[in-house]
A = this chain, B = another copy of it.
């Protein structure tokens, strides 16, 4: 997708979510779309390139609003700050490197969310199953093998 296509689609999504179309929101969506798993600070740095005055606080606000509206997905692997990604709508999972904290997507193993059902849910009604795989990424395997 080009920048313009992302922004046009984003504006539409914002409107149908009942959110106003603002420059910070478009810029954040653009910064995250197709760029993997980014924390708030990284998003801020990226957005600041084209929008020098934007505050970190605004980035937090926008990321929160967009996640609540399900235009972004928020994940919080243990030991990392919250990460945001543009891939939504499928309940895919993540694999995290225990050495360098790199994150990659993993397709959902079993169909749609919750994709797994607990054998005994202790009286809970289950909505989703979140799976996080832990391991070593390719480059850390090399460095650790040395």
Residues of chain A touching chain B, judged by Cβ–Cβ distance below 8 Å, are 74-76, 78-79, 82, 93, 95, 97-98, 104-107, 109, 114, 116, 118-138, 141
Contact = CB atoms under 8 A, between A and B. Distances in A.
Contacts of A120: 106-107
Contact of A133 (B109, B128, B137): B128
A106 B121 contact: yes
Given A98-B127, A123-B137, A126-B135, 9 more contacts: A76-B76, A106-B121, A107-B119, A109-B116, A109-B118, A124-B133, A126-B133, A130-B133, A130-B134
Contacts of A138: 122-124
A126 B109 CA distance: 15
A109 to B, nearest CB: 6
Contacts of A126: 95, 133-135
B121 A135 contact: yes
A122 B95 contact: yes
Contact of A124 (B104, B109, B114, B127): B104
Contacts of A109: 116, 118-119
A10 to B, nearest CB: 25
User: Which of A74, A76, A122 has the largest number of chain B CB atoms within 10 A?
Assistant: A122
Contacts of A98: 127
B129 A132 contact: yes
